[in-house]
Amino acid sequence: MKHESVPIYWRNIPQYYRLVAKRCKKCGATYFPPVVRCRCGSLELENVELPREGKLVEFTVLYQVGTDFLKQKPLIIGIVELANGVRVTGQIIDAQPNKLTPGTKVETVFRRVVVDGKHGLVMYGYKFRPVE
């Protein structure tokens, strides 16, 4: 993939670095990725940082990857349910697939996601790793 736009990365930093979601002040629904309008109709949403602990809902080991991830394959892609019930899709790292099952406890960590050699861009974000 070509990474020609620094602003795209820069404006997502609050989400990529700290898992910042939007919570509806009226009904309490929490959205990740963030939204501008709640399904209840309310436009009053506030930023809220998601908990770092959660459990795995399900995962797959992905062998056919895009050009950014050729050196990192296979990727483990999982759905994680955080402690407050909000779910996030992302990479599961530092894990052996045969030891992962739904329910495995995980925590959010901060890692390098993409290194674009051509433009010297190193981009970071959240990933999840199992905790003992």
Partner 1 sequence: MKDVYIVGAALHPVGRHYGKNIDDMAAEVLEKAIGDAGVDVDAVLVASSTAELAERQQLLGSYILESLGLNKTPAFRVENGDGSGGAAISMAYGLLKSEEYNCVAVVGVDKPNDVLSNQQQDIYAAVVDTYFERYFGVTPLSQAALMAKMYLKKYEYRYEDLAQWALLMHNNGVGNPYAYLRRQVKLEDAVNSELVSEPLRLYDIGPLADGAAAAVLCNNRKDGPRLLSVSASTNSTPFNAREDYDVLYSLRDASQLAFKKAKITPRDIATAEVHDSFSILGVLAVEGLGMAQKGGALAAVKDGALPVNLSGGLKSRGNVLGATGVYQLVEVAWQLLGREFKRVDGSYGVIHSMGGVDRFSTVAVVAL
Binding site for partner 1 (CB under 8 A): 1, 8, 12, 15-16, 31-33, 58-70, 72, 75, 77, 79, 86-91, 97, 113-114, 123, 125, 127
| Lookup: tokens for 45 | 């949403």
Residue nearer to Zn ion on the CB measure, 22 or 127: 22
**Which residue from 43, 49, 46 is spatially nearest to 14, judged by alpha carbons?**
49
What is the smallest separation between the CB atom of 115 and Zn ion, expressed in angstroms? 39
Burial zone of 53 (CB within 10 Å; 0-12 exposed, 13-18 middle, 19+ buried)? middle
Residue nearer to partner 1 on the CB measure, 48 or 79: 79
Residue nearer to Zn ion on the CB measure, 24 or 75: 24
What is the smallest separation between the CB atom of 77 and partner 1, expressed in angstroms? 4
Q: Cα-flanking dihedrals φ and ψ of residue 19, to 5°?
A: 50, 60
- H/E stretch holding 34 reads none
